Structure formats: C-alpha cells, structure tokens
Structure 1
C-alpha cells in the first residue's frame, strides 16, 4: 500500500511538468510540412519576378505540386485536414468574422469559420496565379495581355491575403491566449480550460492483490468527439460535484449552431 501511495504522489508531481498533458494533437505532420513549404515557396515567388526568372518559375512549379498534394490530403488526410465540413464553416464565416472583430470567439481545435474561408480563398487565388503563370510563359499565350493581368492581379491579391492571414493569426492568438504559430510547428493545441483542470483521471485498476496507481488519460479521451461544432468542452463530470450547465457561447456562435442544425 505504501508503494501504491508513493506511485500516486510521483504521478501527480510529474504531471504539471509534462508540457503535453494539457495539449491535444490537431495538425498532422504532412499538413504542417505543406503549410511551411507553401509559405516558403510563395515568398520566393513574390520576391523573384522579373529579376530571377528561373527561380521564380521553379517556385511556381513547386507551388503547383503543393496545391495538388493539399487537394488530395483534404480527402484522405487527418481529421482536421479534411474538406468534409468546409461548406458548413463557410456559411458561418461572415457572422464569425463580425464576432471576432468584437472580441467574441468560440473554441475550435481545427480551423474556425474565418480560417476555413481564408483557406478556400487562398487556394483559389494560388490556383489562378499558378495556372496563369504557366500560360504566360507558354508559346501560345506568351504576351497575351489578359493572361499577364490575371497573373499580376492574383499574385498581388495573394500578398494582401498573406498579410491578412498573419494579422488574423496574431489577433486570434491574443484573444484566445494561445500561440497559434507555435501550434503549426508542434501540431498540438491546448484543450479547453475545463479539461485542463484535470490532467490525470484517478482511475484505479482493480486486481486480485488490491489497487495500483492511477493511469493517466490522454486529453483526446476527455474532450467532445464532435468535430469542431460546437466549440469543444469536457464531457466527463466530476463525481460528487454539481453538474455544470452548458458552456455559454457568444450570441453569434449560438446563431451559427442553430442555423447549421448542430446540437450540443
């Protein structure tokens, strides 16, 4: 019994030091590599036109390959990489963006509605820019005015959208008190605050000789399995405690959920 008690104290003392105990895996490794590779090649393409044309073309072809990968990965990738529910989030995006400007946000582990809209617009602009760029250097369309204008306008729109993306990421990091840039490097985000309050579930596995130390429970087992709608929360109440009511959400998000037919 003394050994079991000592083991429990060791677990409880080691849990706060574990930086992964209050986080959950969100962005899979292929998606993170794609994100930063795309950022690097787009940056190269933005600073090399009319100065280093061979490097500019190489960056453009690399972006085409990355776009093809993202379209495929959106069908077969991890849960938060899929395009399956993108239409629902696009319909919720306008009201969500208005709420975000007012400082009202919901808790999403994956892309929030504003991020989903950003993804769709960015992918569309990149497709237009790269296709028009390839056409521009071909024999048939070389020197065609509308091709050159399309490539220039879409490329400038991409630069502006990148600036909006960076500012939006920083703004959401401040509102939700979470480093979203680091999350895209590590692939992990913190779980909702109610789940973080109990990093270890005191499960005791009974055996013929008595009980032994509790087994830690992964954060994935303590959060809602409903993908993204509504914002995630803990689903296991504390034994003996008064059950808490549903988490209050901003008015804009509750409207989204009602219109989208998503229940708690």
Structure 2
C-alpha cells in the first residue's frame, strides 16, 4: 500500500486541483446511487398504499432488491461502505448522540456512530416492512392480523425515522459546517486541515520543535487513510497543530478503494 502522500496525490489527480483541493473521496458511486434510489422508492411506497396498489408493490419489490444490494455491498464495497466496524460504532452511539444534543461532535469521514445506528435500524425496519408486505399479498398470509399490523407499524416507524434522519443531517451540517447532503451527491467530503487551520501561534510552537526535521510536503497530509475510530477531534490547540503520521488502514484495500484513489 502506498504511503499517505501517494494516496493523496492519487485522489487529487482525478480532478482539477482547485475545486477539490480540500476534499477527499469518501462515498463510492454505487453507494450514492443506492442511497438516493432507496429514498425515492421508499417515498413512492409511503404515498401509494391503498390508492395505487400496483405502484406500491413495484416500489416494495424495488426496495427489496436495493436491500439485497446493500447487504452485499457492505461486505465487498469500499471502506466507508463496509459493515466491518459497525459494532464498535453502535457501542459509541449513545454517548455520541448525547454529545450531538450538546452541540459537541467528533468528525468522521464515514458514518459517525449516530449514522451507523440509523443505518442498522433503518435496514431492519425496511426488511420487516417489505417482507410483511410480500406476505400480506400472498394467498397463505392474506388477511392475517399480525402480518398486517407488522407491516403498518414498521412502515410508520420508517416514516418517523426518515424525519429523524433529515433533521439529524441538517443538524450535523450546521455543527460541522459541511453540507452532508451534497457530500452524498458528490461522494466527497472536506478534509480536516489539521495543519492548515491551526492558529499561527500554535504553528510557530510546532515549527520550533520540528525545525531539525524535514518539513513534510503539502500533499503528505491525507485524511482518506485515517481510520473511522476514534473521531477526528483535536484535544487542544497545540495538539491540533501537531502533524500526525499516516495511519494504517484497518484492512487491505479493495478494488473499490483503488477506484476511489485511496491507494494501491
């Protein structure tokens, strides 16, 4: 695997340097298509029950196909699409959500703990809703009370969760000063400029300490290889100014990571 500088130059070589000099590829193209397609079909399914039954069923079957794709992509996709570290983020979710309510968050390039919890709950509710919907129109389970109730309750919970997701996305965009909805369209997120955004006094302190060492090239700072955990939260002004060495990837790069330009 290349070092951080090489990975950063590989990302930067895909597009002109000026408009994307402070961004890095995070969400791959298949995941972005899945996200917006799922949003569209779920919306159609929510507004068509008991009025346009055929369209409602088509949307439900499309959601089933998208769920199957996401489960597969969670095993073979690029690093921020994987389910590999989901359990760690779920354990951190309660504390992270409390921090969100106080306006305190750690910054993650991929899903933060609250987003990971949202993903797991949403996938579970969609599975219950779609399976119960298919059973509801079958000959064997047609008219069965608990099937109809499961479908209605899970569908209503999905609508409520969508509202929470939208509000949470807007709230995080305000707290972190980044358009997260646009990031899911472009696939790129802002690079936390640890060295570039540090105050001049802190940079002077660090420069005096590291004067005897060769100065790292500007391209050597690459956030795309920093693991998702722990969050990118500087503990102090001086600590934020310290240049961090390239962190090792938590797993070997997949072909999808290479297409994103993360490394070779």
User: Given the two structures, how large is their TM-score scaled by the length of structure 2?
Assistant: 0.74
Secondary structure, counterpart of 2:219 in structure 1: coil
Aligned-pair CA distance for 1:48: 0.3
Note the residue ranges of structure 1 that are not aligned, 5 or more in a row: 1-15, 199-214, 235-242, 248-264
Q: What are the superposed Cα offsets for residues 133-159 of structure 1, whole Å, 9 maximum, x if unpaired?
A: 000000000000110000000000000
- How far apart are 1:18 and its partner, in Å? 1.1
User: In structure 1, what is the Cα distance between the partners aligned to 2:224 and 2:43?
Assistant: 38
Asked whether the 8 Å contact 2:194–2:240 carries over to 1, the reply is no
Equivalence for 2:205: none
Equivalent residue, structure 1, for 2:132: 132
Answer whether contact 2:126 2:154 (CA < 8 A) is retained.
Answer: yes
Whole-Å Cα distance in 2 between the matches of residues 65 and 115 of structure 1? 22
Higher relative contact order (CA 8 A, sep 6+): 2
The CA deviation string for residues 242-263 of structure 1, in whole angstroms up to 9 with x for no partner, is x94257xxxxxxxxxxxxxxxx
Shift of residue 194 of structure 1?
1.8
1:230 pairs with 2:227: no
Please tell me the root mean square deviation across aligned C-alpha atoms, in Å. 2.4
Corresponding residue for residue 174 of structure 1: 174
The count of corresponding residues between Structure 1 and Structure 2 is 207
Cα 1:135–1:196 change in 2 (3 A) is: farther
TM-score (norm 1): 0.74
Whole-angstrom distance in 1 between the partners of 2:42 and 2:141:
23
Deviations 1:28-55 (A, max 9, x none): 0000000000000000000000000000
**Counterparts in 2 of 1:1-264, with a 5 A limit?**
18-194=18-194, 196-197=196-197, 217=219, 221-223=221-223, 225-232=225-232, 244-245=238-239
- Which whole-Å deviations, capped at 9, do the CAs of 1:151-208 have from their partners, x for residues lacking one? 000000000000000000000000000000000000000011325559xxxxxxxxxx
- List per-residue Cα deviations over 1:51-73 (Å, max 9, x = no partner): 00000000000000000000000
- Kindly indicate whether the alpha-carbon contact (under 8 Å) linking 2:122 and 2:158 is maintained by their aligned counterparts in 1: yes
